[in-house]
Amino acid sequence: MVPSGAAGVNEARDRFRADLLEAGLLIPTGVDGLYGGSERYESVVRALDDLIDRVGADQRARMIRFPPVMPWANFVANGYLESFPDQMGSVHGFGGDQRQHAELVRRAEHGEDRGPLLRATDMVLRPAACHPLYPTMRGVLPEEGCRVNVSGTCFRHEPSTDPFRMQVFRMHEYVYLGTPERARDHRDEWLRRGIDTLGRLDLPVESVVANDPFFGRPGRMLAANQRDEELKFEIVTPVYASEPPTAIASANCHLDHFGRPFGIETARGDVAHSSCFGFGLDRIALALFNRHGTDPNAWPAAARSVLWP
């Protein structure tokens, strides 16, 4: 008898994970949610990254790439520490002398806590591709606002054996900064483009109202508010038979969440609003492998021609 409920879900996850490892697509590192990618896996991620550049080519967005580490000060100023402290990857260094170094090595070799011997730096791993962008946009925007194409590696501290929940993953986003109306239009336009693009990859998708996993009790109110105002949508696709579908992209209205702390103004002199649409590159790649099998050469021709035109 096939177990139902939670056990059934875990079985489907474990089977998919085993398939990925057996096919050599992901290389386990010994840390949950942290994998190397094979040439085949990475070729799909790169094809997706390039596809998303093509899908937005008509928008003449400014393209910028930021590293996976961002300034701590901006992480605090944009409210991430306040809302999602449990997901952070704070970067700490060593500034001690030889004696402290010897103690650090001793602790490491005995599996003891290294924390007290290290010092927090002015950096943190970025949780979203667009977060390093906003502080660099300080000032007055042009009349039509500003569109930006960002892509890169992100970190969220949520160890899991579900391949869809990686701790380090790639995200490709289109961001808009400008008036509230145009920010919402950008979000809605990209939600349409996202559904269309993912559908052309032969993934069954739909958009649903969603919320971010805000921390603690006050977080529940923030999440409820986010849903009520329909600020966040996710594009989801079914991946495990007995489980709700999984988010592979998301569309977000930020209101003035980034414009206010970083002093970004519209041409009219108001605080800028912003919005973004993010494609989860690893999640889309995994959804493709999950639906179409572990060999991209055997994927549906139509989906292949979208990825490798």
Contact residues for its own copies (CB under 8 A)?
Answer: 27-31, 34-39, 42, 62-74, 76, 81-82, 85-86, 88-96, 98, 101, 104-105, 108-109, 113-116, 118-123, 125, 132-133, 135-136, 153, 155, 157, 167-168, 215-217
Residues 6 or more apart whose CB falls under 8 angstroms from that of 33 comprise: 158, 159, 160, 161, 165, 166, 167, 168
In the bound state with its own copies, the residue whose beta carbon lies nearer, of 40 and 200, is 40
CB of 35 to its own copies, least distance (A): 8
- Cα 169 from chain centre: 7
CB of 38 to its own copies, least distance (A): 6
In the bound state with its own copies, the residue whose beta carbon lies nearer, of 33 and 278, is 33
CB of 133 to its own copies, least distance (A): 8
- Strands 264-265 and 139-140, how do they pair? parallel
And the tokens for 261?
């702390």
In the bound state with its own copies, the residue whose beta carbon lies nearer, of 221 and 241, is 221
- Dihedral pair phi/psi, residue 186, rounded to 5°: -60, -45
In the bound state with its own copies, the residue whose beta carbon lies nearer, of 122 and 181, is 122
In the bound state with its own copies, the residue whose beta carbon lies nearer, of 87 and 207, is 87
Length of the chain: 309
Q: Is 8 helix (H, G, I), strand (E, B) or coil?
A: helix
CB of 57 to its own copies, least distance (A): 12
CB of 30 to its own copies, least distance (A): 5
In the bound state with its own copies, the residue whose beta carbon lies nearer, of 7 and 108, is 108
- Dihedral pair phi/psi, residue 69, rounded to 5°: -115, 140
CB of 32 to its own copies, least distance (A): 9
And the tokens for 44?
């799909």
Euclidean distance between CA atoms 171 and 49, whole angstroms:
9
| Contact in structure between 152 and 129 (CB atoms under 8 Å) | yes
- 206: number of Cβ within 10 Å: 12
